[in-house]
Amino acid sequence: MVGLGSFSTPMCTTSPLPSKPNPRNNFPGKLSHPLLGFHKVHSLSLSTHFSPQKNKLTQTHFTLKASSVGTADYTEEPATKVKFRTSLSVPDCSTSLSLLGTGYREKVFAIIGVKVYAAGLYVNPSILSKLDAWKGRSAAQIQDDMPLFKSFFEDPMEKSLQIVLVRDVDGKTFWDALDEAISPRIKAPTPVDESALSTFRGIFQGRPLNKGTSIFLTWPHPSKMLVAVSSDGLPTSTDATIESPNVGSALFDVFFGDAPVSPSLKTSVATGLATILK
């Protein structure tokens, strides 16, 4: 695959967190981690320190400290140097979303690892107040806890995944890689699922995806996914609406299931959750 698991008008916004190893192949510095508001508590800032790990994956360690609004607007994904906004607005989302974690997707050709894209997960901060049952869990415990990620996905609060390409890819190649990851996760596709996949495919067919292009996959609700593609900044409209619970759930599983296509992203999100749920 080119990079995925693969990939969405009122607006949404965000805040940050980090990453780790456990590679699996398929195409697919100076950092400050600001404001993640939740529980009506003051904003938080996360400063991150990176150290190289085996298999070209990076683990991020967080230090929690109080901060004021506006201290940092971006967080850098260390392996690709892609900068993600800590607060994000996307089409057809009703509230502001906060950056929870970042990672990257790598495809291995022979023995050479080629990075295809960076990704950042954004969430409605209100979702965090519903995870009290996981308070005190370590990042490793959270990462291996599939019920937590299932609960996370099934919550009706908005979530959005931003994918930023770090090399040129043609749309068909990108979709083929995405479909290769999604389809096996839908055991008995219904006509609704097939129609949703056809709509999804149509977004990328014949479309060049140049380096720097962003693909936004937004779940305003578990049964609906919005797809928006932008080659220059944030999108102003949604390219397609995918109304299939099975397709939306399969795509979320591509990134946060037992065998995520970007282990560093799932690790980063788990570390972020563990930091917040101390």
Could you give the percent of the chain with pLDDT greater than 70?
72
Q: Is the pLDDT of residue 27 over 90?
A: no
Stronger pLDDT, 3 or 201, i.e. the higher one: 201
Report whether 227 contacts 239 (CB < 8 A): yes
Query: In the predicted model, what is the mean pLDDT of residues 10-36?
Result: 39
Report whether 91 contacts 228 (CB < 8 A): yes
pLDDT of residue 93: 83
pLDDT grade for 57, boundaries at 50, 70 and 90: very low
What would the DSSP string read from start to end of the chain? --SSS---------------------------B-----TTPPPEEEEEEEEE-GGG-EEEEEEEEE--TTS-SEEE-TTT--EEESEE--TT-SS-EEEEEEEEEEEEETTEEEEEEEEEEEE-GGGGGG-GGGTT--HHHHHT-HHHHHHHHHSSS-EEEEEEESS-EEHHHHHHHHHHHHGGG-SS--HHHHHHHHHHHHHHTT-EE-TT-EEEEEEEETTEEEEEEESSSS-SS-SEEE--HHHHHHHHHHHHSSS-S-HHHHHHHHHHHHHHT-
Query: In the predicted model, what is the mean pLDDT of residues 73-98?
Result: 92
Question: pTM for the full model?
Answer: 0.75
| Class (C level, CATH) for 74-277 | alpha beta
Q: In terms of C-beta density within 10 A (0-12 exposed, 13-18 middle, 19 or more buried), how is residue 76 classed?
A: buried
pLDDT of residue 56: 39
pLDDT of residue 91: 85
Amino acid at 113: G
pLDDT grade for 176, boundaries at 50, 70 and 90: very high
pLDDT in tens, 242-251: 999 999 999 9
Nearest of 163, 88, 73 to residue 124 by alpha carbon: 88
Structure tokens at 92: 């057809």
Domain ranges of the chain: 74-277
Query: In the predicted model, what is the mean pLDDT of residues 161-190?
Result: 94
Query: In the predicted model, what is the mean pLDDT of residues 123-148?
Result: 91
pLDDT of residue 31: 36
What would the DSSP string read from start to end of 132-195? GGGTT--HHHHHT-HHHHHHHHHSSS-EEEEEEESS-EEHHHHHHHHHHHHGGG-SS--HHHHH
Q: Is the pLDDT of residue 22 over 90?
A: no
Q: Which stretch of 28-37, 62-71, 151-160, 192-201 has the lowest confidence by average pLDDT?
A: 62-71
Q: Is the pLDDT of residue 277 over 70?
A: yes
Query: In the predicted model, what is the mean pLDDT of residues 44-50?
Result: 34
pLDDT in tens, 253-266: 999 999 999 999 99
pLDDT grade for 6, boundaries at 50, 70 and 90: very low
Q: Is the pLDDT of residue 40 over 70?
A: no
Structure tokens at 254: 């591509």
Phi-psi region of 84 (alpha: psi -120 to 50; beta: other; left: phi over 0): beta
pLDDT of residue 238: 93
pLDDT of residue 94: 79
Distance of CA 114 to the CA centre of its chain: 19
Query: In the predicted model, what is the mean pLDDT of residues 68-89?
Result: 82
pLDDT in tens, 189-243: 999 999 999 999 999 988 999 999 999 999 999 999 999 999 988 888 999 999 9
